[in-house]
Structure 1
Amino acid sequence: MKISILYEDNHLLLVEKPINIPVQADRTGDSDFLSMLKQDLKIRYQKPGNVYLGLVHRLDRPVGGVMVFAKTSKAASRMSDLIRRQAMDRKYLAVVRGVPQKNQAVLEHHLIKNNRENKVYTVTANHKKAKKALLDYRTIAKTEELSLLSVQLHTGRPHQIRVQLSANGTPIYGDQKYGQNINRPGQQIALWAHSLRFEHPVNKEMVEVNCPPPKEQYPWGIWKKLHNKTHF
């Protein structure tokens, strides 16, 4: 598989994750992205033995887009701290069913995860296991049935965007887990990690990478004129 490298130096590797590939090894036994990247580094730099590559954050298996990995343990530790401090600007594009009641809004929910089902649910704030989830969205374009949203994460809960947009009455197109009442089996989820912006953990310069969704794939192709935009 050809790996699309968006940025690389001695400390970081930013790449485009393909859809439907797990980020790391799981119980399915399918090939995972982290192992692919390690093998690619091993070959490109002719490294003997094991290759270090730190997993900084995750994307759900069906979701594609930009991801950052750490090539050193020092960078991994500092990038993890950036995420803990919510100092990484993470933006996504999502095509949702219907039209949100508000063109833009901040969504706040409290979530719990059922690990056995691998599914996340909204609960009241006083639930003993609840974790606050916060994002904001803005409507970029819409048709009668679908809307294109720019979403910015402020917390990093499992399945957060999928759960919150569904709870807001606009499930993501193709999401079988949180929009099963409206989406059909086989439809590809239209959620894409569009951009990352953060302070480099070593040289302290700003790193910004944008990654457009696949314009040849439905429903992204509805808004082809927007595909050359880097900021939403």
Structure 2
Amino acid sequence: MSTSFTGTNPDIPIIYEDNHLLVIDKPAGLLSQEDHTGDPDVLNLCKQYIKKKYNKPGDVFLGLVHRLDRPVSGVMVLARTSKAASRLSYQIRKRTINKTYWALVHGESPVYGEHIHFLEKDERTNTVKAYTSPKGNAKESRLKFITLKQNEKYSVVEVDLITGRPHQIRVQFAKEGNPLWGDYKYGNPDKNKEHDIALRAVKLELEHPTKKDLMILKAPKPAGIPWNFFEY
């Protein structure tokens, strides 16, 4: 469990920190980066934290090397130096960073499997469409999963992303008839926009940008509705 926080509003749990990295447990509902809404976002809040903690003058460098969708929670890595940002970005391009998620979906998912679709994003509506065969500019998208828990209504799946496309987990499971709990954008039967999406980044494996050590960064297991539908 995290023992330190950014002390911002909203407050953000810190999983790991050194001179090159800041790893947080992003709360659901918080933007990764500022947008037209003007709502609080991870990047600016964490810059405030660094600036205050280390009494840094002027602007603070903090590199956003990957994002989590606003309704998604969990492990998120920021780079405290340009060298770290460059090396982490390289790992992402080479797909050597392993990302693991937990999702609670509607219906009974297979015990294990792989979803392969071709995803195309509509920037105008900020939505993604999934196709079962190549089409236009759609990009091949792959993930593997195993089912951890299941009852007659829901399944908890552990997902390993092979590619990293916008809204990928959400769209692919919806395409297969297992929309994520709370995800009104992609076919959640509840149609309740007040829900957070039942998707959490639980683990990230990467090479430290300077020490070269393998790092396994974990977020605490999800709690509260709907995760408490099951025991862990």
- Tell me if TM exceeds 0.5: yes
Give ranges in structure 1 of 5+ residues lacking alignment: 227-232
Q: Indicate conservation of the 8 Å contact 2:65/2:85, yes or no.
A: yes
Q: Is the 8 A contact 1:108 1:134 kept in 2?
A: yes
Count of residue correspondences:
223
Instruction: Check if 1:165 corresponds to 2:173.
Output: yes
**Secondary structure in structure 2 of the residue aligned to 1:10:** coil
1:180 Cα deviation after fit: 4.1
- Separation in 2 of the partners of 1:167 and 1:182? 17
Q: Which residue of 1 aligns with 2:182?
A: 174
* C-alpha displacement of 1:65: 0.5
Q: Is the 8 A contact 1:38 1:53 kept in 2?
A: yes
Match of 2:71 in 1: 62
Deviations 1:24-80 (A, max 9, x none): 010111111110000000000000000000001010001110100100111101101
TM-score in terms of structure 2 length: 0.92
Aligned mate of 1:187, from 187, 195, 198: 195
- The Cα RMSD (Å) is 1.2
CA distance in 1, matches of 2:35, 2:197: 20
Name the counterpart of 2:5: none
* Corresponding residue of 2:153: 145
User: Is the CA contact (8 Å cut-off) linking 1:173 and 1:183 kept in structure 2?
Assistant: no
**Per-residue deviation, 1:176:** 0.8
Which residue matches 1:105? 113
Amino acid at match of 1:7: Y
**Is the contact made by 2:116 and 2:132 (CA closer than 8 Å) also made in structure 1?**
no
What are the ranges of 5 or more consecutive residues in structure 2 without an aligned counterpart?
Answer: 1-9
Quote the residue 1:72 is aligned against.
81
- Report what 1:230 is aligned to: none
Q: Partner of 1:96 in structure 2?
A: 105
After TM superposition, where is structure 1 displaced by more than 4 Å over at least 4 residues in a row?
none
Residue equivalent to 1:34:
43
| TM-score computed with the length of structure 1 as normaliser | 0.92
Instruction: For residues 143-182 of structure 1, give each alpha carbon's deviation from its aligned partner in whole angstroms, at most 9, with x where no partner exists.
Output: 1101000001111100000000101110000101002444
Q: Matched residue of 1:14: which SS?
A: strand
Q: Which residue of 2 is the match for residue 223 of structure 1?
A: 230
SS in 2 for 1:52: coil
1:13 aligns with 2:22: yes
SS in 1 for 2:160: strand
CA distance in 2, matches of 1:98, 1:183: 16
3-state DSSP of counterpart to 1:26: coil
Tell me, yes or no, if the aligned pair for 1:86 and 1:155 is still in contact at 8 Å.
yes
SS in 2 for 1:34: helix
Give the Cα separation in 1 of the matches to 2:54 and 2:196: 35
